[in-house]
């Protein structure tokens, strides 16, 4: 696919994959992008997943039309982007691999017999001229691996952004960008908001016409929208006005309390109320919603003097991604020793800027009239 007259997407779409990184459900597949710049010298940016070696090399050769690449630029060493480095070098042995010091350390971790490769080690802000196209290297450590770097092509003002601005889904599928980009971001990059903020500051100094990520789609229009979302996500700010009610329930009593709360919030005119059964919802979808909205209610029965496993997994998924700057309410249940609320609060002990609702709900086995009053008070506090 032509990005511009001289720049091509030679990547592939994967419609056979079911779980990305062995855990994320991807019903619309994945895209693994690789880019090729034709000039006096030719550069290829990144490779693709190991399962697509032949298709990718064919795509490259079709664009090259008999020419030989001068450079293979490695922006990210994760396997879905680096797996074909040695296959590429076997095909084009005179090509120079371009990366930073950490790139080449990782290269020896993944591959053997790398000693005689032609290498160009670049530093932050180094430039590489291909002729009329000038490549500038911008380091983006821990977005979301330590060796990651972006490449800015200053002639046509294109930012090659590695995994940043990526999304789940193949590029030949027409779907809402924000939904799958948000799920991708918080699932994979969400822990590293500080590092994303740092590289966004670097990017803000650039004049960018096109963003070319390694997953998802090439972004050519309305770039402030995408940059704005990334700024919101990486600064852990609230994206949308709404309330998420995330629950686990054994016999339906905790679920019933959550449904009553949702009804009361809707009656009070709350703009968006999300009910999430953590036992049945995709965990990545649940995490996405928790970071999207500003208020969340966590509801769990006491289970083995702890909380229900699905709730524990959910809270761990939030806290390990630096969940912060949110308001949280608690609904707990138990038949003889109700400890779920205490456990849930303690799990957020290291989280920043958490505001706890004054009103909580404590159920002893089944929802009773006093619980309805507690739920009403919680709904009033949430809707203020």
Domain boundary among 191, 211, 234: 234
Tell me, yes or no, whether 223 and 281 share the same domain.
Answer: no
Q: Which pLDDT score is estimated for 162?
A: 97
Residue 360 in contact with residue 341, Cβ under 8 Å? Answer: yes
Alpha-carbon distance of 138 to 376, in angstroms, equals 52
- Do 165 and 258 fall into the same domain? no
Quick one: which H or E segment has residue 346? helix 340-347
In this prediction, the residues of the chain whose per-residue pLDDT falls under 50 are none
Does a structural domain hold residue 2? no
> What's the CATH code of the domain at 224?
3.60.15.10
Question: What pTM, to 2 d.p., does this model score?
Answer: 0.93
In this structure, the answer to whether residues 230 and 340 fall within a common structural domain is: no
Looking at residue 327, its pLDDT comes to 98
> Is residue 1, in this structure, part of any structural domain at all?
no
Residue 267 within a domain: yes
Judge if 169 and 295 occupy the same domain.
Answer: no
Residue 259 and residue 366 in one domain: yes
Instruction: Note whether residue 294 is domain-resident.
Output: yes
pLDDT value at residue 85:
97
Domain tally for the chain? 2
Is 201 a domain residue? yes
Q: Identify whether the C-beta of residue 21 lies closer than 8 Å to the C-beta of residue 188.
A: yes
Q: Is 147 part of a structural domain of the chain?
A: yes
Q: Are residues 284 and 374 in the same domain?
A: yes
pLDDT at 1: 82
Query: To which residue do tokens 């308001």 refer?
Result: 327
Tell me, yes or no, whether 271 and 323 share the same domain: yes
Answer yes or no: is 106 within a domain.
Answer: yes
Q: Are residues 268 and 188 in the same domain?
A: no
- The 10 Å Cβ neighbour count of residue 364 is 15
Record the tokens describing residue 58, joined without a space: 């064919």
314 lies in some domain? yes
157 in the same domain as 17:
yes
pLDDT digits (tens, 9 = 90+) for 214-265: 999 999 999 999 999 999 999 999 999 999 999 999 999 999 999 999 999 9
User: Which residues span the domain enclosing 254?
Assistant: 242-379
Query: Looking at residue 372, which CATH number applies to its domain?
Result: 3.40.50.360
Q: Which of the listed residues 174, 199, 234 is the one where a domain comes to its end?
A: 234
Quick one: 213 and 290 in the same domain?
no
What is the pLDDT, as a whole number, of residue 194? 96
Question: Is 167 in the same domain as 225?
Answer: yes
Statement to judge: residues 167 and 29 lie in one domain: yes
Cβ(357)–Cβ(380) below 8 Å: no
Tell me how far apart the alpha carbons of residues 57 and 90 are, in angstroms, rounded to a whole number.
Answer: 11
- Quick one: tokens of 263? 């009804």
């Amino acid at each position: 696919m032509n990005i511009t007259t001289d720049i091509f997407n030679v990547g592939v779409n994967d419609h056979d994959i079911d779980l990305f990184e062995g855990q994320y459900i991807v019903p619309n597949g994945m895209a693994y992008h690789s880019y090729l710049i034709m000039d006096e010298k030719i550069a290829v940016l990144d490779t693709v997943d190991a399962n697509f070696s032949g298709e990718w090399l064919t795509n490259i050769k079709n664009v090259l039309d008999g020419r030989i690449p001068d450079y293979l630029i490695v922006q990210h060493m994760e396997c879905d982007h680096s797996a074909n480095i040695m296959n590429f070098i076997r095909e084009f042995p005179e090509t120079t691999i371009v990366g930073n010091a950490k790139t080449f350390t990782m290269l020896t971790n993944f591959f053997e017999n790398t000693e005689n490769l032609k290498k160009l080690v670049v530093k932050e802000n180094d430039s590489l001229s291909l002729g009329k196209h000038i490549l500038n290297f911008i380091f983006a450590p821990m977005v979301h691996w330590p060796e990651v770097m972006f490449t800015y092509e200053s002639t046509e003002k294109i930012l090659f952004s590695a995994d940043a601005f990526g999304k789940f889904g193949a590029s030949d599928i027409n779907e809402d960008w924000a939904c799958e980009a948000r799920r991708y971001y918080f699932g994979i990059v969400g822990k590293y908001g500080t590092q994303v903020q740092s590289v966004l500051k670097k990017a803000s100094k650039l004049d960018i016409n096109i963003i070319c990520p390694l997953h998802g789609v090439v972004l050519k229009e309305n770039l402030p929208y995408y940059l704005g979302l990334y700024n919101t996500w990486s600064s852990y700010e609230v994206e949308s006005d709404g309330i998420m009610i995330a629950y686990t329930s054994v016999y339906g009593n905790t679920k019933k309390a959550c449904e009553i709360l949702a009804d009361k919030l809707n009656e009070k005119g709350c703009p968006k109320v999300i009910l999430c059964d953590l036992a049945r919802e995709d965990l990545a979808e649940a995490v996405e919603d928790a970071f999207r909205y500003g208020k969340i209610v966590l509801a769990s029965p006491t289970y083995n003097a702890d909380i229900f496993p699905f709730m524990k997994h959910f809270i761990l998924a939030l806290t390990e991604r630096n969940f912060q700057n949110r308001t949280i309410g608690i609904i707990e249940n138990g038949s003889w020793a109700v400890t779920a609320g205490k456990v849930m609060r303690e799990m957020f002990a290291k989280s920043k800027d958490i505001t706890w609702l004054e009103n909580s709900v404590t159920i002893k086995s089944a929802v009773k009239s006093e619980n309805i009053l507690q739920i009403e008070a919680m709904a009033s506090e949430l809707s203020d």
